[in-house]
Amino acid sequence: MVNPGRYNIAVVSGTTFQLSPQWLVNNLPVDLTGYTADMQVRDVSNNLITELSTGNGYAVITPATGTVTLTLSATQTAALTVGNYNYGLNLTAPGGTVYQILQGAFVLSASQVQ
């Protein structure tokens, strides 16, 4: 069993979002060969706001370093509704076991253009 880490994310609408968490066990990176990644952002009613996955190309795994790079473009964040959400980052092993390695708040705020 893996206890997910907690990390709160703050994104400004209309800016590029990128995060590269690394999964470590005993201070060593987990080999993610054959894994898939899926991060879902949901509202308080559990409605899906956006998804970043290896399937849609918004999550890229670097197996040897245990790193998952999650990216949304400025255009993509601008298309999302400003608000307070929650997310979970799941990694699925080749055998089908799903590990949630990270979770937290996903806060999308309006740009303060001056």
| Predicted confidence (pLDDT) per residue in 24-46, tens digit | 999 999 999 999 999 999 999 99
Mean predicted confidence (pLDDT) in 35-62 = 97
Residue 68 near residue 21, CB atoms below 8 Å:
yes
pLDDT of residue 79: 96
**Report field, pTM of the whole predicted structure over 0.75:** yes
Q: Which long-range contacts (CB under 8 A, 24 or more apart) does 93-102 make?
A: 93/34, 93/35, 94/33, 94/34, 94/35, 99/2, 100/2, 100/4, 101/2, 101/4, 101/5, 101/21, 101/23, 102/4, 102/5, 102/6, 102/7, 102/21, 102/39
pLDDT of residue 112: 79
Query: What stretch of H or E contains 76?
Result: helix 74-79
Of the pLDDT bands very low, low, confident and very high (cuts 50, 70, 90), residue 84 is: very high
Q: Look at the alpha carbons of 46, 48, 53, 59 in this order and tell me if their dihedral is positive or negative.
A: negative
- Kindly tell me if the per-residue pLDDT of 52 is higher than 70: yes
Better-scored residue on pLDDT, 112 or 65: 65
